[in-house]
A = this chain, B = another copy of it.
Amino acid sequence: MLKEKRVIRDPIHGYIHIDDELIWNLINTREFQRLRRIRQLGSTSVVFPSGTHTRHLHSLGCYEVARRMLEEIKNLGECLNEREKRAVLAAALLHDIGHAPFSHSFEAILKHHHEFYTVQIIKGPSEVNDVLNTVDDRFAEEVAQIIDHSHPNKILSQIISSQLDADRIDYLLRDSYCTGTIYGKVDLDRLLRTMRVRDNVLAVKQSSIYTVENYIMSRYHMYWQVYYHPTSRSFDSILKSLFLRLKDLHEENPDIVREYPMYKALLEKEILNNDEFFLLDDETCSYSFNLMRNSSDPILKDLAVRIMDRHLFDYTSADNEEELIRHCLRKGYDPRYYVVKDYQRQIPYLPYLGRGSDNIWMLMDNGELRELSEVSSVVGSLTDLNEQDERVFYPKEIMK
C-alpha cells in the first residue's frame, strides 16, 4: 500500500484513486507511459476534433471502474481473495497495452492482434513484467490469463471484458464526453448499486432493466454515430493503402527500410519483440508520414499528403466498386490503393447459448438468473437486427 493515496484528475470519474503501490509502479513503466502516445479513437479525431484522448487515460479509467466495482458491488468483494483483486486491477490497467497506433489500419502490415502483444508485454521482458514479478513469479501469468480469458475464475475476465464491463463502460463515457456527443451516457452509479454476484456470474438486478437497455442502445448508437463514421473510415482507408503500398515497395526493394527506419522490424519480421513494438506509436507514424511527403514514389507521397493535410477520399455504395475501378484506371490511379472497400456491422446485443459469462445476466426479483434478451422486450426485439454498412472509398479526382 502507498503511504499517501495518489489521485489523478479525470473529467469522467472526478479522480482516479490509487492506493496500491503495485498499480502506481505499473503506471510508471515505459510501456504504460507509451499509451500517452496512442490515441484512443485513432482516426476519429478527423471528424470529431475534440476526440484526442489517449489509451493511457482510458486504461486508467478502466482500472477506476474495476476498482469501484470491487468496492461498491455489494457481494463482489467477498467472492474474491486479495490476490485476485490485485490481479484484476492490474489486468484492467494493462488490457490495452499491446495496442499499435491506428489499430484498424495497422492490421494491413502487423500480423498479430493487440491481444497478442498485450500478453507478450505482460510476460516480458518488459518493465511491466518486472513490476508484476515483485508480487511473485506466477503473478504476471495470472494477469495475462484474465486478459485472454483462460483464468479459472471466470468472474475476473467478466469484470474487464464481457458485454457489460469496466472497459466498455469507461470508453462509452469517455468517448462520449470527449467527442461532445450526447449518446454514450451510462448510469454507472446505478449499475454499481444494483450489480450482484450470483452463481459466480456478475448480474444486474431486475430493477435496473431500463439502465441496461439504455446502455445497449447507447453503445449501438456510439458505434454508428462515432466509431463507424464514414469520414473516419475514409481516413482509415487511406492509411491502409499507405501501409499496403509501403509493404509492396518493400517487397520490390527491401532497402526502403533505410528511408523509414521506424518500420524496419515491422516490414522484416513476423513477430516484433517488445523493444521493437515499443517504438510504434501515433507520433512515430506521424513523423514517418512527414518523411513520405518527400518520397520518390508518387503513390506513397500522395497518400501521405492526404493523411497529413486531410485530403480525404469520398465514398459511395459498394455496388459501384467496379465502376470506380474503371474510372481509376482511366485516370491513371492504381485501384489497388485508390479504391478501398470497407465493411462494418453492428448488432445491438448478441446472446450466447449456455451460461457464458459473456452474456449480460439479469438477477430477477425471485432470485433467478436470466439472460438479458429473455427479460427485456426491447433488447429481445433488437437481437435479430444486424445493421450493416459496406462502402467504397476513392479520391474524388477520378470522377472528374
Contact = CB atoms under 8 A, between A and B. Distances in A.
A189 B17 CA distance: 12
Contact of A9 (B8, B180, B213): B180
Given A193-B15, A287-B283, A378-B382, A308 B33 contact: yes
Interface stretch (A45-53, A81-89, A90-98, A144-152): A45-53
A37 B285 CA distance: 12
A310 B33 contact: yes
Interface in A345-383: 348, 377-378, 381-382
A36 B45 CA distance: 9
A177 interface: yes
A179 B54 CA distance: 13
A284 interface: yes
A327 interface: no
Interface stretch (A63-71, A154-162, A217-225, A333-341): A217-225
A28 interface: yes
Interface string A303-317: 001001111000000
A270 to B, nearest CB: 23
A29 B311 CA distance: 10
A48 B12 CA distance: 12
B283 A181 contact: no
A287 B285 CA distance: 9
A57 interface: yes
A189 B14 contact: yes
A265 interface: no
Q: In the complex, which of the residues A49, A186, A214, A385 has the most CB atoms of chain B within 10 Å of its own CB atom?
A: A49
Q: In the complex, which of the residues A8, A225, A311 has the most CB atoms of chain B within 10 Å of its own CB atom?
A: A225
A345 B219 CA distance: 26
A293 B284 CA distance: 14
A332 interface: no
Given A185-B185, A210-B221, A290-B284, A10 B49 contact: yes
A7 interface: yes
A274 to B, nearest CB: 14
Interface in A289-305: 290, 305
A214 B182 contact: yes
Contacts of A33: 308-310
Interface in A180-217: 180-183, 185-187, 189, 193, 210, 213-214, 217
A73 interface: no
Contacts of A11: 50, 177-180
Contacts of A15: 189, 193
Contacts of A45: 36
Contact of A217 (B56, B217, B387): B217
A183 B214 contact: yes
Contacts of A281: 286
Interface string A221-240: 10011000000000000000
12 contacts: A7-B193, A11-B177, A15-B193, A28-B311, A34-B308, A49-B56, A52-B53, A213-B221, A279-B290, A281-B286, A284-B287, A381-B385
3 nearest interchain CB pairs? A11-B180, A283-B286, A287-B287
Given A9-B50, A382-B382, 17 more contacts: A9-B180, A10-B180, A12-B50, A12-B180, A15-B193, A28-B309, A28-B310, A30-B305, A36-B45, A39-B52, A52-B53, A182-B186, A182-B187, A210-B225, A283-B284, A287-B287, A381-B384
